[in-house]
Amino acid sequence: MADTPLIELIDIEKHFGSVIALAGVSLSVLPGECHCLLGDNGAGKSTFIKTMSGVHKPTRGTIRVDGKEVVFESPRDAMEMGIATVYQDLAMIPLMSVTRNFWMGREPKKRIGPFSFFDFKTANAVTMEEMRRMGIHLREPDQAVGTLSGGERQTVAIARAVYFGARVLILDEPTSALGVRQTSNVLATIDRVRKTGVGIVFITHNVRHAMAVGDRFTVLNRGKTLGTAKRGEISTEELQDMMAGGAELAELQSSLGGTV
Amino acid sequence: MSQGIEANNMAAQPGEDERVKRVSKLRKAMVRPELGAICGAIAVFIYFAFAAGDTGMFSAEGVMNWGVVSAQFAIIAVGACLLMIAGEFDLSVGSMIGFSGIVIALLSVHYGWPMWASILMAFAVALAIGALNGYIVITTRLPSFIVTLASLYILRGLTIYFSIATTRQTIIGGVREAAEGDWLAPLFGGKILKGLFTWLGEAGVIQTYAGGVRAGQPVVDGIPMLMVWALAFIIFGHILLTKTQFGNWIFASGGDAQAARNVGVPVNRVKILMFMLTAFCATVFATCQVMEFGSAAADRGLLKEFEAIIAVVIGGALLTGGYGSVIGAALGALIFGVVQQGLFFAGVESSLFRVFLGIILLLAVVLNTYIRRLITGER
């Protein structure tokens, strides 16, 4: 793996009035790695990814892209540097076709005389190809996104971000609303994208999903990082304990007789 | 526990998804937003072919009769359709028709403006009002239903007020005389292909008047510009919606405005432009009507906003936006025109028109909801 992180966030703090949402969080993403950001609800995951994608400006701390210090004034700034976020609600419009969704806002055009038209031929061909590369076999590019499963919609959103130049892909709980099969599809997609050299930040509170694809793991608890561990250095149980802050969950686990 | 199942599913993974059924070309061609309107139109034509086939409803004159009425509906339906797909309503269409008509008649007849200047002024005012409707909807974030309901009353009230305050009456005549020799007026009140129809009359294809001052002239002496406008709007609207980048933005703005904004679609601009388009359509309607009747009346266009919306909904559009078809809306307008005039030909009590309309609206919406589920996977 390359040495310079695509993006590096150092000691990020974010205060909302008197509430300290983030109290010193650090994380870096290398090309081609899947960095899992774990944390329970309220740990500060959302605030942190919004800082990373330029929605919030950090109160304190440094952000570096390709080793150079940057300040994101808006999400657009972050997007221009290749940092794309796929939010939980996806920004897909179910009534519209896959192609129309894929190209929304960046429609390819062809000119006929003085008029310019949506170039559906190119758009459909690219969409089909990108979907195929992600392992989704569309019946036809003009089928509505609403006919796709939740996992497939995630994949369309990911493929769209990658196609339009994402180098760092922030996935906000992509598996939290999915069934087993669909989760495995999304994890497979993450693996595919990672192999193309894109860095991925995979936000989840499901340790098993994280262990399935993660290269590194950072656990967030009450606005602080509890450290970053590499794959193989840490067990599922340890991650689970760190996330929940320990003791109680361990007790619950033993009474349930397995991993929560 | 779930490990075993997962492995099973993974095994079924390679190649194509076995649960995606192959879909036949025919089914794909059938299942489209306009299907309900197509069925409705066919049903209506079959019904009247039996009920009024021998009454001259399908003679050249009869076709022109319901064709003009359908074209009127189509003009306002196209605007309402694109606006509805962009996620908004305009309830002020009817009032706008009355308002624009009075503006033209007042300026040309009462104030002595040239007709072309009066018409252009009416369009300018209408576009400004449309833009204002859109601007208020965008900035206040109120439902357009409420905002344009206010415009419905304000415009209608102003129309009557201006008309009475200047001429002491609500009908202003003398427009035809004022339009004489004007270069712009024929674009709305004229007819095209007159030569062709004269020839058709001479060739005996269509009937000619047997006597009177127009003896020898064909009963239909040309295609009214109203129909040309309707056709132009339908073609323009359909291409804009389905073949251009802007069309994609219309769908996106109505489908999920926030998602569209996130990827850089100028949602506000799209919506305001669509409000302006409905105002433009209403003014074309008004201008054609004023030229045809030779007068403007303050109560013109009453209930037209609902008729436009009904035509659009029969055409398969979704009331909440993001889905619909201009061709469907045009077919909805055709159904409207044929039924309204056809009941007259068939000698059916004309008050039943509304009953029929209500029923067809209900049937169309039920069918369209079903089709839409098939297409979009809504559950």
- pLDDT tens per residue across span B254-273: 999 988 887 888 999 999 99
Tokens 């159904």 belong to residue? B335
Contact residues of A toward B, CB < 8 A: 89-96, 100, 103-107, 109, 115-118, 120, 137, 139-140, 144, 146-148, 180-181, 184
Percent of chain B exceeding pLDDT 70 equals 90
For chain A, what percentages of helix, strand and coil (3-state, to nearest 5) are there?
A: 35, 30, 35
The yes-or-no verdict on residue B134 having pLDDT over 80 is yes
Count of CA atoms in the C-beta half-sphere (13 A) of B86: 34
The larger pLDDT score, comparing residue B29 to residue B225, is at B225
Q: Supply the pLDDT for residue A183.
A: 86
At B231, is the secondary structure helix, strand, or coil?
helix
Inter-chain CB proximity A95 and B262 less than 8 Å:
no
Nearest CA in chain B to A75: B262
Nearest Cα of chain A lies from the Cα of B45 at a distance, in angstroms, of 31
Angstrom distance (rounded) from CA B284 to CA B236:
15
Of B359, B285, B358, the C-alpha closest to B80 is B285
As a whole number of angstroms, the distance between CA A249 and CA A259 comes to 10
Does the pLDDT of residue A167 top 80, yes or no? Answer: yes
- Specify the higher pLDDT residue, B6 or B253: B253
**Which residues in chain B have their CB less than 8 angstroms from residue A137's CB?**
15-17, 20
Report the side by side order of strands in the sheet with A224-230.
Answer: A83-86, A168-172, A199-204, A34-39, A216-221, A224-230
Between residues A126 and B36, the one the model is more confident about: A126
CA neighbor of B263 nearest in space, from B253, B273, B271? B253
Contact assignment for B259 to A92 by CB distance below 8 Å: yes
Averaged confidence pLDDT in chain B: 86
Which DSSP helix (H) or strand (E) runs through A10?
strand A7-16
Number of Cβ within 10 Å of residue A76's Cβ equals 11
- For the cut 80, the answer to whether the pLDDT of residue B63 exceeds it is yes
* Residue that the structure tokens 């209500």 belong to: B358
Radius of gyration of chain A from its Cα atoms, rounded to whole angstroms: 19
B252/A139 touch (CB, cutoff 8 Å), yes or no:
no
Q: Read off the DSSP letter of residue A118.
A: E
The reply to whether B255 touches chain A by the CB within 8 Å rule is yes
- Here the tokens at position A254 are 């033993």
Mean of pLDDT values over A140-156: 85
> What is the residue-wise DSSP string for B278-347?
HHHHHHHHHHHHHHHHS-EETTTTTTHHHHHHHHHHHTT--TTSS---HHHHHHHHHHHHHHHHHHHHTT
CA gap B250, A93 in Å, rounded: 12
Q: Å from B190 to nearest chain A CA?
A: 29
* Structural Rg of chain B based on CA atoms: 24
What is the predicted pLDDT for the residue at B264? 80
Higher-pLDDT residue of A155 and B2 is A155
C-beta separation of B44 from B319 below 8 A: no
> In the prediction, which pLDDT does B61 show?
82
Which tokens hold the place of A171? 């996935």
Q: Which residue shows structure tokens 């989840």?
A: A204
Per-residue pLDDT, A1 = 45
Q: Give percent of chain A with pLDDT exceeding 90.
A: 14
Do A91 and B262 make contact, defined as CB atoms within 8 angstroms?
A: yes
Asked whether residue B367 carries a pLDDT value surpassing 70, the answer given is: yes
Cβ of B10 under 8 Å from any chain A Cβ? yes
Per-residue pLDDT, A246: 55
The ipTM of this complex is 0.80
> What residues of chain B lie within 8 A of the CB of A94, using their CB?
255, 376-378
pLDDT band at residue B24, thresholds of 50, 70 and 90? low
**Interface mutation target, options B20, B22, B248, B375, chain A, most CBs of A under 10 Å:** B248
Query: Amino acid identity, residue A170?
Result: I
Indicate the residue type of B62. G
- Partner-chain contact B5 A137, CB within 8 Å: no
Q: With 70 as the cut, is the pLDDT of residue B295 above it?
A: yes
CB contact under 8 A, A100 and B20: no
pLDDT, position B87? 94
> Which of A92, A115, A146 lies nearest to residue B376, judging by beta carbons?
A146
The gap from C-alpha A251 to its chain's centroid, in whole angstroms, comes to: 32
Tell whether the model's pLDDT for residue B94 goes beyond 90. yes
Kindly report, residue by residue over B168-216, the tens digit of the pLDDT.
888 888 888 888 888 888 889 888 887 787 787 777 777 777 766 677 6
- What integer pLDDT is reported at residue A2 of this predicted model? 52
Kindly state whether B18 is in contact with chain A, defined as any CB-CB distance less than 8 angstroms: no
Q: Average pLDDT of A220-248?
A: 77
DSSP H helical ranges for B86-206: 93-105, 115-140, 144-167, 175-179, 186-189, 194-202
Angle at B20 between CA B16 and CA B22, to 5 degrees: 95
Axis crossing angle, helix B60-85 with helix B93-105, rounded to the nearest 10: 120
Contacts of A104 in chain B (CB under 8 A): 248, 252, 259-260, 263, 265
- How far off is chain A from B245, nearest CA to CA, in Å? 5
Q: Give dist(CA A218, CA A228) in Å, integer.
A: 4
Closest Cα in chain A to B262: A91
CA–CA gap between residue A240 and residue B1 (Å, rounded): 19
Q: Is the pLDDT of residue A248 over 50?
A: yes
> Under DSSP, is residue A166 helix (H, G, I), strand (E, B) or coil?
coil
- With beta carbons under 8 A apart, name residues in chain B contacting A103: 248
Rounded CA separation B210/A204 (Å)? 85
Task: Say if residue B6's pLDDT is above 60.
Answer: no
User: Do the Cβ atoms of A29 and A199 come closer than 8 Å?
Assistant: yes
Categorize the per-residue pLDDT at B98 as very low, low, confident or very high, splitting at 50, 70 and 90: very high
Tokens at residue B367, please?
């069918």
Chain B contact set for A100 (CB, 8 A): 248, 251-252
Give contacts of A148 with chain B, Cβ < 8 Å: 377
CA distance, residue B34 to nearest chain A CA (Å): 15
| B262 shares contact with chain A (CB less than 8 Å) | yes
For the ranges A53-62, B130-139, B278-287, the lowest mean pLDDT is seen at A53-62
> By 3-state DSSP, what share of chain B in percent is helix, strand and coil, each rounded to 5?
70, 5, 25
> What are the structure tokens assigned to B308, written together?
């436009």
Query: Could you give all domains of chain A from N- to C-terminal order, each with its CATH number?
Result: 7-90+165-256 (3.40.50.300)
Nearest to B98 by CA among B319, B285, B237: B285
Domain map (residue ranges) of chain B = 33-376
Share of chain B above pLDDT 90, in %: 48
Task: Give the per-residue pLDDT at B10.
Answer: 39
* pLDDT of A112 above 90: no
pLDDT tens-digit profile of A187-226?
Answer: 888 888 888 889 999 998 888 888 888 899 988 888 888 7
Q: Is the pLDDT of residue A153 over 80?
A: yes
Give me the residues paired with residue A203 across strands: A37, A172
Q: Cα–Cα distance between B335 and B304 in angstroms, integer? A: 15
